[in-house]
Chain A
Amino acid sequence: MEHTDIFELGGKRLTSRLFTGTGKYGDDGLIPAVCEASGSQVITVALRRVDLDGRGDNVMRHIPGHMTLLPNTSGARTADEAVRIARLARAMGCGDWIKIEVISDNRHLLPDGYETARATETLAREGFVVLPYMNPDLYVARSLADAGAAAIMPLGAPIGTNRGLRTEEMIRILIEEMDLPIIVDAGIGTPSQACQAMEMGAAACLVNTAIATAADPVLMGRAFGRAVAAGREAFLAGPGAVSALARASSPLTGFLGETGGAA
């Protein structure tokens, strides 16, 4: 199953539909084991000024070489800042994927759709594989598609909250209406929530906080990998119809031929 269901994105052929992150780990040394246990092949990083004083550990040391790097533009408050960060990230020589994140609201960390679309347009024109983080709004989604996004990444709940698929109905609309892959990003707190997103028809899920802040990140990574794969298989299998009334799964005859039996 996992080798026949390929997720093609940005010229890559992915066999795992779980994207992971590198933020919030108590110990970055766990990242290789999480990648291994989860099966994830795409991982996010952020770009910041180097620490001029202390000898900071470099996160790149912990990212296995086979992973596709997805730098984000966190810290950007405008499209111009996001474009600047994206160009710097690409100059690092680790590929041309970029997760656009333009946020000026530090309380709720909600993405600015207008600035995100502007940055997407510029960077797609420059050849980036652009994955914009967005509020699940149909009109924003269409503007991002027009701007050249490779996929769109609607939030399930505000970043880092682990509150689950609070935007379920809006994400369902995006899945129905958009031709682009929908990657649910932010807010997913448990494997069952990731599974649900995949059952709905999401193309992938990005999970950072729920794995990195678990008591056992490696085990949680494995659980998320399995949940995303299970949800994907359920979607491909085509769930049976939902019914308001009971429908017997066994023949509706009595045990020895009389009518009236059930179950």
Chain B
Amino acid sequence: MHITLNGKNRQIAPGQTLHDLVLSMNLDPAVVVAELNSDIVPGTQFAATVLRDGDRLELLSFVGGG
């Protein structure tokens, strides 16, 4: 199935949770925040969030800034 991740089309396995996806990308869930179909998903809910076909997902983290 396909989701839109940070504006780009991405194919993922059905049934994947947000937690699975983040780990598969070598990201530390503790320093990532997600916005799924415009709703904020904090890291504590990644494992309980199953992704669905057509989801629009943004994954963000803190970077250097002033």
CB < 8 Å neighbour of B63 from A48, A55, A94: A48
Please give, as numbers and ranges, the residues of chain B lying within 8 Å of A208 by CB-CB distance.
Answer: 66
Q: What is the interface residue range for chain A against chain B?
A: 35 or more
Stretch at the interface among A7-15, A17-25, A217-225, A255-263: A17-25
Complex alpha-carbon distance, A209 and B44, angstroms: 34
CB pair B65–A58 under 8 Å, yes or no, is: no
Interface residue total, chain B, C-beta cutoff 8 A: 25
CB pair A46–B63 under 8 Å, yes or no, is: yes
B48 close to chain A: CB less than 8 A? no
CB pair A88–B64 under 8 Å, yes or no, is: no
A46 with B59: in contact, given A52-B6, A93-B42 (CB under 8 Å)?
A: no
CB pair B61–A50 under 8 Å, yes or no, is: yes
B5 close to chain A: CB less than 8 A? yes
CB < 8 Å neighbour of A45 from B6, B27, B65: B65
Complex alpha-carbon distance, A25 and B64, angstroms: 8
Q: How would residues 11 to 41 of chain A score, 1 for a CB under 8 Å from any chain B CB and 0 otherwise?
A: 0000000000111110010000000000000
CB < 8 Å neighbour of A23 from B28, B41, B58, B64: B64
